[in-house]
Amino acid sequence: MGYRGAINQDLIIMFLRLAETKIYPKYKSATFHRKIFSVLVETLQNIHKYAIPDATGFNNAYFLVKKIPNGLQVATGNLVTPEARKILEEKIELVNKADVEGLKQLCKKKLFEERNPTFDSVGVGMFELAIKANKKMSFKFYSTENEMSFFTLEVELENN
């Protein structure tokens, strides 16, 4: 399942319904269904909330779910500001260094801290993604002409 273009709340609901009909039936595990749902919601909401509109005024992003051996990979990409890039790099590097128990503790701590309303909530979502994936997330930033960056994120989910 893949999509490129503006992502809004209606499309998120459509993607989740498609996952129910096209992806879930391929996997018997209800636990794996919950993992898929959580990761889809978190990645799509991140694009919807944090993607910067391009020159056309849309949050031109992409979203891709593909089958990999023993599971699925969810990949996303969207335009972000220099400030968001710095915060995302720090958060993902922190997340990738921690094990699952460490991530759970960081998530609990983050939930009870005072938040910066602009970007601080990014941390909780990244912790949740890493916990569901139980492995490191792959990410890259590609510089664009207008000092923005195109951010890509890949999360692999194992069906075990």
| Each residue's pLDDT tens digit, 22-63 | 999 999 999 999 999 999 999 998 888 878 877 777 777 999
pTM: 0.83
76 strand-pairing partners: 63, 153
Q: What is the CATH number of the domain that holds 54?
A: 3.30.565
Mutual orientation of helices 122-133 and 100-112 as an angle, nearest 10°?
160
Express each pLDDT in 86-109 by its tens digit.
988 888 888 888 888 888 888 888
Chain mean position to CA 18: 18
Structural domain range at position 132: 2-158
* Contact predicate 78/61, CB 8 Å: yes
- Confidence band (pLDDT; 50, 70, 90) for 114? low
Residue 117 has pLDDT above 70, yes or no: no
Q: What is the pLDDT of residue 17?
A: 94
**What total number of domains does the chain contain?**
1
* Contact predicate 30/159, CB 8 Å: no
d(CA 20, CA 65) in angstroms, rounded, equals 13
